[in-house]
Structure 1
Amino acid sequence: MTSTESATHFLVIGAGELGMAMIRSLTAHITGNALPDTVTVLLRPSTGELAADKTRQLEELHAAGVAIVHAEVATASTAELAEIFGRYDTVISCLGFAAGAGTQRKLTEAALAARVSRYLPWQFGVDYDVVGRGSPQNLFDEQLDVRDLLRGQHDTHWIIVSTGMFTSFLFEPAFGVVNIEANTVHALGSWDNTVTLTTPEDIGRLTTEVLYAQPPFVDEVVYLAGDTITYRQLADIVDATLDTRVRRVEWTVEHLHTELADDPTDTMRKYRAVFAEGVGVAWPLERTFNHTNGLAATTAGRWARAHLTVSA
């Protein structure tokens, strides 16, 4: 349901970094266009005294007119989730891999059981169709299960939004690609390998544009990107931002697979190995919804200038 002829009732699952970005963008769009649409967020039930950041978050949601429903996704049955989902026209899952294995499949099964008009699964990442099954990141196989479920039915329309890696994740110290303390940038697989990056804020804003696009997107994969860069360009960005000359070290696919074999449960090693393979993790900017529609997005260089410091 994308027509403004009647109100669309959105349910956003989760209020983490992406969930809040999605909620802010949806509510701003609704307010700015005087639409009768509504936004509800599904949160875990609170237990005990709330931390200060959670209190501030609830105050922000209340001020924006966002309704709240509660469910413990990890333990709720598919039927219980379907009962909640069935109250809404468009369900957007912003609950990522941290929710645990099986979560993406269960949420999709619940959306289909509820026969919601439109579902956006948590697919805000790489092009899982191209990556294929059996990649170093085993959780990616579940993303293909989700796509199979959606494509195997006709009652619920869907949109898959592919965004590449969160821009901040590429600079995350734990990921190991950009190591400011060691003044080093590592290339995953090759200096010429590319990676597509988008910030959560841009994902929320651009996904909102996708949701309200006319003619509507129906049962499609839509590509977004703030930037698509090589690891060589990434090192250049760090050099220019910090006025330095980083040490450049290439981690080959073979090296990263060996590293993963030494600890197959290490999440970061899984991600490094799959991105090193360079398959399905990047696409040209010219191919994206935002480029086609002249919508600006944050580049890697702009993000680095705003966030990267020597003391990071």
Structure 2
Amino acid sequence: MVVLRKVVQVGATGNLGAAVLESLISTPSLEVTVLSREGSSSRPVRPEEVNVITADYGSVDSLSAAFQGADVVVVTVGASGLASQARMIEAAIRARVRRFIPSEFGADTLHEKARGLPVYRAKVETLNLLKAKAAEGLIEWTAVFGGPFLDWGLSRGLFGFEPAAADATFFDGGSTQVSTSRLTDIGQAIVGILQNPSKTANIPIYIQSTCTSQKQLLELAERTLGKKYKVTNVSTEQMEKAALEKMKQGDMSGMRAFLVRAIFAPDYGCNFTARLANDLVGVKELSPTDLAALVDETLRQTGQS
């Protein structure tokens, strides 16, 4: 029987990393170790409850030593750490790690259009490498796709509006139905994968806390904040073209436009409703009432309403 009990989480700080760590250490059956980059001053929020070790992310030998004895490696690094995943995979194979969960969690980088966007190059290369190694029988993989982060995104303007602003931006009309997940549900999905190792090997896992649109979220926000936003409509196609022109000039400041394109363009695959594995990994969808309450709570926590 396959058992995935001993977990090494790489990158357990930040909004996502902390939420995933909370889910892992709250599961009594799991033995969790956090791996941090040598020289980093960042530490998990609750270091007293987890073993913290360090490694040189640029060294396969250092990473392999850190992964010794682990059943699974869960990577929750941010954009700056994505290029290190090839070395992590090689190190995990050397250490005989059974499962590798790469840093994905957002838009569907397996979708033919989304995977072609420059912002996802490192993630696409990582998944391609994992598939190749899995085909050789060297390691298993599971990729989690949850769409944009719901609670975090509401407080950071990811859905086209911010609590304190007077203006909102709708991408491609604002009606695209998008799968989106709370940070805690991403953590739950990872726990669910570890608890169902045979059914989750070498496949993508699609989850959502809800499937909604910018228009629906803005209506809920206006109700909470007691105001109306002035809405501007923007084409994600035009955003992508402008970002590509910037790249040709060596200007990488338009990378966010590619993220917006992958999330809100209707034909870029960020509606996972027909492919959900929520039941398999224990993620419960929000009811309309629950979603309204989440929007209200999240926006009020920002202190702006």
Bin for the TM-score computed over the shorter chain? 0.7 to 0.9
Do 2:9 and 2:75's aligned partners in 1 also have CA atoms closer than 8 Å?
yes
1:147 aligns with 2:127: yes
Q: Give 2:296's match in structure 1, choosing from 301, 305, 308.
A: 305
Evaluate the alpha carbon distance shift between residue 69 and residue 288 of structure 1 in structure 2; reply closer, same or farther with a 3 A threshold: same
* Equivalent residue number for residue 161 of structure 1: 144
* Equivalent residue number for residue 20 of structure 2: 22
Structure 1 window deviating more from structure 2 (252-261 vs 155-164): it is 252-261
Do 1:133 and 1:141's aligned partners in 2 also have CA atoms closer than 8 Å?
no
Report the alpha carbon displacement of residue 131 of structure 1 after superposing the two structures with TM: 4.4
Q: Give 1:89's match in structure 2, choosing from 64, 67, 71.
A: 71
Q: What percent identity do the matched residue pairs reach?
A: 19
1:228 aligns with 2:211: yes
Query: Secondary structure of 2:257's partner?
Result: helix
Q: Describe the superposition over 1:112-145 as per-residue Cα deviations: whole angstroms up to 9, x where unpaired.
A: 3433111111111111111447644x23122121
- Unaligned regions of 5+ residues in structure 1, if any? none
Query: Secondary structure of 2:130's partner?
Result: helix
Evaluate the alpha carbon distance shift between residue 84 and residue 191 of structure 1 in structure 2; reply closer, same or farther with a 3 A threshold: same
Structure 1 window deviating more from structure 2 (266-275 vs 152-161): it is 266-275
The residue type paired with residue 15 of structure 1 is A
Q: Give 1:107's match in structure 2, choosing from 81, 88, 91.
A: 88
Q: Give 1:67's match in structure 2, choosing from 46, 51, 55.
A: 51
- Unaligned regions of 5+ residues in structure 2, if any? none
Q: Give 1:283's match in structure 2, choosing from 245, 256, 272.
A: 272
- Write the mapping of 1:2-17 to structure 2, written as runs, cut at 5 A: 2-3=2-3, 8-16=5-13, 17=15
TM-score, normalised to structure 2, is 0.82
Evaluate the alpha carbon distance shift between residue 104 and residue 302 of structure 1 in structure 2; reply closer, same or farther with a 3 A threshold: farther
Evaluate the alpha carbon distance shift between residue 22 and residue 277 of structure 1 in structure 2; reply closer, same or farther with a 3 A threshold: same
Report the alpha carbon displacement of residue 10 of structure 1 after superposing the two structures with TM: 0.8
Report the alpha carbon displacement of residue 14 of structure 1 after superposing the two structures with TM: 1.1
* Equivalent residue number for residue 171 of structure 1: 154
Report the alpha carbon displacement of residue 283 of structure 1 after superposing the two structures with TM: 1.3
Query: Secondary structure of 1:29's partner?
Result: coil
CA distance in 1, matches of 2:216, 2:172: 14
TM-score, normalised to structure 1, is 0.81
Structure 1 window deviating more from structure 2 (268-277 vs 290-299): it is 290-299
Report the alpha carbon displacement of residue 300 of structure 1 after superposing the two structures with TM: 4.9
Query: Secondary structure of 1:165's partner?
Result: coil
